[in-house]
Structure 1
Amino acid sequence: MCEFCNGKKKKIENGYTYGRAYIESTNYGYCYKLCYDNSGEEYGEGEFEINYCPICGRKLV
């Protein structure tokens, strides 16, 4: 398990902007979602469902 898939927020850098990304379980509890924001929550945010950690590849259960 890496520090990203244990639920801690990870700072991400993309060119000149900074943001945060983290993994959390959905309200239903059967899948997980990757939540992210761009530039310190100033411009946009989003989320999508995932089954595997994008950093280490571990299956999220």
Structure 2
Amino acid sequence: MRIINKLADRLLEKVAPTVTADAGCIYLRTDYYVTGQCKGNPMAPRVRTTVSYDNCPPKVTYNCS
């Protein structure tokens, strides 16, 4: 039983800081930018989506539509 408790404590130490950091993120806005063309389809624009938060770094994704 002690081994399971130690493993649970280690897991909690690694996971807890990320959970509290994500919980503190406050959504501000979402911005869309056309950054070029898609490689497979030159007629489709490549769109960069940036989601901005108050206390956290922005999350950036790229999509081809």
TM-score (norm 2): 0.34
TM-score (norm 1): 0.35
The structure having more radius of gyration, on CA atoms, is 2
- Which structure dedicates a bigger proportion of its chain to strand? 1
- Which structure dedicates a bigger proportion of its chain to helix? 2
